[in-house]
């Protein structure tokens, strides 16, 4: 086990008769961005709250660096809860420094660090404003600063990108990259699958409290059925007659095909050359959205 | 990486999870979190002290206290003056007015009375109608009559009743060949008490009303503040960030101490303004005994409010959003209103009983101290009872607060909160 990885083992949480999180196990490796994906009510937030010790697990455990996580460990974790909100009537800088001091960071250091991060997130000059005066997107940036200050050893972020404009997303991604470069594991949940696909080195898909898939996006993609896209010289209706080839969809000259093996692929190509030529034949990797739909179906 | 050999986490269950996490952290992590309650306390104080609503409320209250005292001072210092019309040449009527004017202030007198001689009834009525005279004293069937334009002034009536009686007594005594002094010699009764200065019932009532009001404003205002600040953190999930940084009991301790300091400071300001203002009024003579009573009040309030603040913090934790507060704080509000109404109207045995019942004793015992009714040991015993209440409230609240604070979704009951805390 890597020294600073987060490991979740058999984590379970019941509320009365409802099992919100059911025997969830996965690893968020040190220095990697791990995406936590799942629909509403899949158990992402409940799992994150248990990792942070805000909610006691019914069963299972959370380990950090190979040992059961302690309160001292958790003080050094950066956490962004699901619902946004800070003290609405307190200036941005004051409350960030307050939260930093609760985590044991001395006031002058906290101040310098907070000002620097506000600057990088485009909030320089807003530090004396009350949080309620900021737009929702800007309030979210303040919340991000709250999670990232104090050189955390693990980041647990619940929907950190929701509500951010593309520029803010890029700024946020840069910030997170700095932390993964330090060897910090980052676990974040998101509904935006395209974003997760672009960013994550690792992926955990959750459905109804259970882990449906867990691994690197490329590995997950190769587990899906490999498809080919064919563009014929004329109408591609002939593909239906080729043995070993299953036509998923044919639309004029364009066909989406499942090809059984290499021999079938050669047959397809040969037939195509006889029937007016083949302009294009490419393997199609399923997108993350497709994988997600498949594993959670 | 901290080396950790605690095997307990493997067996964590829903009931004991958080509590255990708290304690597990406690030993090893003490150095980092030891001062956390102080950081929380400072924030509570600063945020409250800079709150506009609070400051305006404080200033308005101080202004009201000062204005009340100024009014009392003016009431006390002003001298009533009356002009009384008397029939021209009626020596008895003039003598009655003079003896009414001679009644000393201690016996309810001290007013200026002037006799205005009028030639006839018509002139007397004209003087009343013009406002030149406040009353017309003239002989009637078997005695005297005081006529006013409307009903004569009650103070004037009281003074002249005494004046006429004295004048009549003097006249009758002279006719009998003796003097009033001889007739009434040895017939006076005065009161005395062993335990020093007396506080008259009116002042006592006013003082108990003021103390009950101070308690009401301080406890309710600061109580609502702490409940509001707890639910604000809970609703915004700020508490989830803070719970990972510091043990929840530090958060609670900081909040209770912070709001107690504010509530106490507010009461000290009110009491000081009140005392300073009173020193300009005729009631200044009771200042020493009132000050002693106020010191007890501040002491009682400080101890009692610790318990109340803890209960209010739980009321805040039981709510999930600000709108729930009204419901979860109702029992507290009712109790404080009850104390307010009972204590300033209580008397006799009932008051003695109340002076030992937490938190009514915060008001009732200092009032009994002021009336001189309480033995020296009574406030001490009562304070110990109050301290016991505060300790129990703090212990129970600490548990309920931890149990309720991180539960989301709707209002939470006390029982569920206490059970969850494990």
Residue B3: pLDDT over 50? no
Closest partner residue to A71 (CB to CB) among B25, B47, B232 is: B25
Q: Which CATH number fits domain B79-172: 2.40.10.10, 3.30.420.10, 3.40.50.300, 3.40.190.10?
A: 3.40.190.10
Q: What is the pLDDT of residues A112-152, one digit of tens each?
A: 999 998 988 888 889 899 988 988 888 888 998 999 988 89
Judge: B2–A70 Cβ closer than 8 Å, yes or no.
yes
| 3-state class (DSSP) for residue A287 | coil
The reported pLDDT for the residue numbered B2 is 40
Q: Is residue B145 exposed (0-12), middle (13-18) or buried (19+ Cβ within 10 Å)? A: exposed
- What mean pLDDT do residues B39-49 have? 90
Residue A188: pLDDT over 70? yes
Of A107, A104, A83, nearest to A94 (Cα)? A107
Residue A2: pLDDT over 60? no
Mean pLDDT value across chain A:
87
Confidence of residue A58 (pLDDT cuts 50, 70, 90): very high
Mutation site, A72, A99, A146, A157, interface B, largest B CB count within 10 A: A72
Percent of chain A residues topping a pLDDT of 70: 97
Residue B14: pLDDT over 60? no
CA distance B318 to chain A (A): 16
The reported pLDDT for the residue numbered B77 is 67
Judge: A65–B12 Cβ closer than 8 Å, yes or no.
no
Phi-psi region of A217 (alpha: psi -120 to 50; beta: other; left: phi over 0): alpha
**Residue A250, number of CB atoms within 10 A of its CB:** 18
**Residue B198, number of CB atoms within 10 A of its CB:** 16
Residue A223: pLDDT over 70? no
Report how far apart the first and last C-alpha atoms of chain A are (Å, whole number): 33
Residue B1: pLDDT over 50? no
In sequence order, the β-bridge partners of residue B113 are B82
CA distance A178 to chain B (A): 21
Chain B residues within an 8 Å CB radius of A83: 236-237
Q: Is residue B262 exposed (0-12), middle (13-18) or buried (19+ Cβ within 10 Å)? A: buried
Confidence of residue A17 (pLDDT cuts 50, 70, 90): confident
Q: Where are the domains of chain B?
A: 7-74+198-421, 79-172
Confidence of residue B199 (pLDDT cuts 50, 70, 90): low
- What mean pLDDT do residues A229-247 have? 87
- What mean pLDDT do residues A272-289 have? 84
Closest partner residue to A58 (CB to CB) among B14, B22, B241 is: B14
Judge: A52–B244 Cβ closer than 8 Å, yes or no.
yes
Q: Is A41 on the interface with B (CB under 8 A)?
A: no
Residue B255: pLDDT over 90? yes
Residue B17: pLDDT over 50? no
Residue B162: pLDDT over 70? yes
HSE (side-chain half, CA atoms, 13 Å) at A123:
31
Please state which of the ranges A7-21, A68-82, B173-187 shows the lowest mean pLDDT.
B173-187
Strand-pair category, A186-190 with A33-38: parallel
The reported pLDDT for the residue numbered B5 is 39
Integer Cα distance of B212 and B233 in angstroms: 32
Judge: A102–B39 Cβ closer than 8 Å, yes or no.
yes
């Amino acid at each position: 086990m890597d020294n600073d990885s987060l490991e979740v083992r058999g984590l379970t949480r019941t509320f009365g008769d409802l099992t919100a999180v059911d025997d969830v196990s996965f690893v968020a490796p040190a220095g990697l961005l791990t995406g936590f994906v799942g629909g509403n009510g899949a158990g992402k937030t409940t799992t994150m709250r248990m990792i942070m010790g805000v909610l006691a697990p019914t069963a299972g455990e959370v380990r950090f660096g190979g040992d059961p996580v302690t309160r001292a460990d958790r003080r050094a974790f950066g956490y962004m809860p699901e619902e946004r909100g800070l003290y609405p009537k307190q200036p941005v800088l004051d409350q960030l420094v307050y939260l930093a001091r609760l985590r044991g960071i001395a006031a002058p250091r906290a101040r310098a660090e907070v000002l620097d991060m506000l600057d990088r997130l485009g909030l320089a000059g807003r530090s004396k404003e009350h949080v309620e005066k900021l737009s929702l997107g800007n309030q979210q940036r303040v919340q991000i600063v709250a999670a990232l200050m104090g050189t955390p050893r693990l980041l647990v972020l619940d929907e950190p990108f929701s509500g951010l404009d593309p520029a803010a997303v890029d700024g946020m991604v840069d910030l997170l990259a700095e932390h993964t470069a330090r060897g910090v594991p980052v676990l974040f949940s998101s509904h935006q699958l395209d974003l997760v696909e672009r960013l994550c080195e690792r992926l955990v898909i959750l459905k109804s409290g259970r882990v449906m898939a867990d691994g690197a996006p490329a590995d997950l993609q190769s587990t899906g059925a490999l498809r080919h896209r064919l563009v014929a010289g004329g109408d591609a209706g002939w593909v239906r007659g080729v043995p070993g080839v299953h036509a998923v969809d044919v639309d004029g000259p364009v066909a989406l095909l499942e090809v059984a093996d290499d021999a079938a692929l050669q047959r397809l190509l040969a037939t195509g050359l006889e029937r007016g030529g083949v302009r294009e034949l490419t393997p199609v990797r399923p997108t993350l959205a497709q994988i997600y739909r498949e594993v959670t179906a | 990486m901290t080396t950790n050999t605690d095997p307990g986490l493997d067996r964590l269950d829903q009931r004991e999870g958080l509590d255990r996490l708290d304690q597990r952290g406690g030993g090893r992590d003490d150095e980092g979190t030891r001062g956390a309650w102080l950081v929380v306390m400072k924030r509570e104080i600063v945020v409250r002290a800079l709150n506009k609503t609070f400051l305006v409320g404080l200033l308005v209250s101080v202004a009201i206290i000062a204005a009340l005292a100024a009014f009392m001072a003016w009431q006390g210092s002003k001298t009533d003056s009356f002009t009384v019309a008397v029939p021209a040449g009626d020596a008895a009527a003039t003598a009655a007015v003079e003896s009414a004017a001679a009644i000393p202030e201690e016996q309810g007198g001290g007013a200026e009375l002037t006799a205005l001689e009028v030639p006839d009834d018509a002139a007397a009525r004209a003087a009343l109608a013009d406002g030149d005279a406040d009353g017309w004293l003239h002989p009637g069937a078997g005695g005297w009559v005081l006529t006013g334009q409307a009903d004569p002034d009650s103070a004037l009536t009281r003074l002249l009743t005494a004046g006429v009686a004295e004048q009549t007594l003097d006249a009758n005594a002279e006719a009998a060949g003796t003097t009033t002094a001889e007739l009434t010699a040895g017939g006076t009764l005065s009161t005395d008490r062993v335990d020093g200065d007396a506080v008259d019932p009116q002042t006592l009532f006013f003082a108990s009303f003021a103390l009950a009001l101070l308690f009401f404003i301080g406890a309710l205002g600061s109580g609502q503040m702490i409940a509001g600040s707890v639910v604000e953190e809970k609703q915004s999930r700020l508490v989830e960030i803070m719970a990972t940084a510091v043990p929840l009991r530090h958060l609670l301790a900081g909040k209770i101490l912070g709001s107690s300091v504010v509530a106490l400071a507010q009461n000290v300001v009110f009491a000081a303004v009140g005392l300073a203002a009173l020193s300009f009024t005729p009631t200044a003579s009771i200042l020493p005994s009132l000050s002693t009573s106020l010191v007890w009040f501040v002491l009682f309030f400080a101890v009692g409010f610790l318990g109340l603040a803890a209960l209010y913090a739980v009321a805040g934790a039981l709510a999930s959003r600000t709108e729930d507060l009204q419901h979860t704080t109702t029992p507290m509000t009712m109790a404080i209103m009850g104390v307010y109404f009972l204590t300033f109207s209580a008397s006799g045995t009932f008051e003695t009983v109340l002076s030992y019942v937490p938190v009514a004793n915060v008001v009732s015992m200092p009032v009994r101290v002021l009336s001189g009714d309480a033995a020296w040991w009574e406030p001490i015993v009562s304070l110990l009872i109050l301290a016991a209440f505060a300790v129990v409230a703090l212990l129970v609240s600490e548990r309920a607060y931890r149990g309720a604070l991180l539960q989301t979704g709707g209002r939470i009951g006390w029982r569920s909160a206490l059970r969850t805390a494990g």
